[in-house]
Structure 1
């Protein structure tokens, strides 16, 4: 017999939103498969130390692949939620925008995850398969009462600007229409477009942190997104590429937890 979906999902969403601010700070650490290392050379402690710093700095959740959990102490998740990432693709592929499922909702539950995430590149050559994967995972999440974060971007051979307001709105709609509880996406540049996006989305929109080439500009853009109604921030490279990741996550936590209007997924109400 399947678990009570509404109760199980509500409990897990409450864990994600344990800080009570109504905003989420998620730090994705799923980048090594795509080819982006997340640990500075010469930095002691590795992934376990980094996750510990994120927890102490005020992050609400981290996104990890299943194998990475072998290198993180279980006690790191006493005050930090685990989102297991279910999809992957390498930068070595002939189609770097392709994503396939590499784990399941059942595996996530076995590993103690509070939620799962799936990546979709809308407009990519494998767009139909990625949509089908997202829909299938959403069905499993409904069955087991697990929150779903969809990372949806407008990316592909015909996409010139993945931050174009129409395309970002479409990406957010894909996540909501297929059953996600939260969506992470690149945000439009203009404040008016940011407000229109967050107002139109029926689920919280987490602003993606970006490539961190200019951390000052990235922080300013994320602050604008939060002021415009974003449900929080999902920043990976901005954090782990920072000279001091702990200091960066504290800045982001202050931004998200002290300035985000209380808006949580409807399923928790």
Structure 2
């Protein structure tokens, strides 16, 4: 790939240069409410960066609150979509930022949320297309958080349905796609084979112990990484949680990080 702004930003999104990704979303404060005390936000980002995450995902206002030194080795993804759990339709997402202001913030990528099967699917797809065009103009990588989600979706873990939504992301100009893990997890390999884009899967809920097994399963079935928010920032030790995930995803770690999970020895 020739040297361009987009190429440089894409390189920063995979900290080890191996094409694998560990993103830690912290955008939940818009949808759900505060995730940490105001005074503890910089400490949380420091733990995430120190644990070896490839990038943090935040809204534009929070991005301005991150001390620049914390992002020396960790990428910044600015999320452009929003809704709250108090709205009449929690699956409806609207744009609350644009690519140009993310360039001014120094972002390495932007992300857009799309729920396929929701009542506002058409508007969300239109927004994704608009942002993709702006990303092309500005040399900005685009992450789509795209899910089968809404009143028309009875089983969001169906492999064929997940393959359809990640294909939409590819068709509309996305660079990295975030979605759900198929059930059973072994069928995620079919989704990966159908997609020309790297796929990262959402970490979802559950215990920290179950997260390790989840990460191992996702990587063993061809995913390019994970995006884990709640199970990191709700952990008693966010830095340690990130270290464990980074070792699983990248197959090696920074100094002091644990070795990769033994079940992945032949998969990575």
| TM-score with structure 2 setting the length | 0.90
Separation in structure 2 between the aligned mates of residue 90 and residue 152 of structure 1, nearest angstrom: 17
Matched with 1:267 is none
- 1:6 Cα deviation (Å)? 7.0
Check whether the contact 1:189–1:221 (CA below 8 A) recurs between aligned residues: no
Matched with 1:20 is 17
- 1:11 Cα deviation (Å)? 1.1
- 1:161 Cα deviation (Å)? 1.9
Separation in structure 2 between the aligned mates of residue 154 and residue 214 of structure 1, nearest angstrom: 24
Among 215, 227, 233, which residue is 1:234 paired with? 227
* Structure 1 residues without counterparts, runs of 5 or longer: 262-269
Matched with 2:101 is 107
| Residue deviations 1:72-104 (CA, integer Å, cap 9, x gap) | 211111111100101101111100101000000
- 1:32 lines up with 2:29 in the alignment: yes
Check whether the contact 1:209–1:233 (CA below 8 A) recurs between aligned residues: yes
Check whether the contact 1:6–1:145 (CA below 8 A) recurs between aligned residues: no
Separation in structure 2 between the aligned mates of residue 130 and residue 199 of structure 1, nearest angstrom: 26
Separation in structure 2 between the aligned mates of residue 219 and residue 236 of structure 1, nearest angstrom: 14
Q: Secondary structure at the match of 2:97?
A: coil
Q: Secondary structure at the match of 1:71?
A: coil
Matched with 1:219 is 212
Q: Secondary structure at the match of 2:4?
A: helix
Larger relative contact order (CA 8 Å, sep ≥ 6):
1
Check whether the contact 2:215–2:249 (CA below 8 A) recurs between aligned residues: no
- Higher mean Cα deviation, 158-167 or 175-184? 158-167
Separation in structure 1 between the aligned mates of residue 10 and residue 107 of structure 2, nearest angstrom: 11
Check whether the contact 2:160–2:191 (CA below 8 A) recurs between aligned residues: no
Q: CA RMSD in A?
A: 1.8
Separation in structure 2 between the aligned mates of residue 122 and residue 193 of structure 1, nearest angstrom: 20
- 1:146 lines up with 2:128 in the alignment: no
Q: Secondary structure at the match of 1:150?
A: strand
Which residues of 2 match residues 124-139 of structure 1 at below 5 A? 124-139=118-133
| TM-score with structure 1 setting the length | 0.89
Separation in structure 2 between the aligned mates of residue 19 and residue 153 of structure 1, nearest angstrom: 27
Separation in structure 2 between the aligned mates of residue 23 and residue 168 of structure 1, nearest angstrom: 20
Matched with 2:79 is 85
Matched with 1:47 is 41
Separation in structure 2 between the aligned mates of residue 114 and residue 100 of structure 1, nearest angstrom: 21
| Residue deviations 1:126-173 (CA, integer Å, cap 9, x gap) | 000000000110001111111000000111012122112122111211
Check whether the contact 1:207–1:222 (CA below 8 A) recurs between aligned residues: no
* Structure 2 residues without counterparts, runs of 5 or longer: 252-259
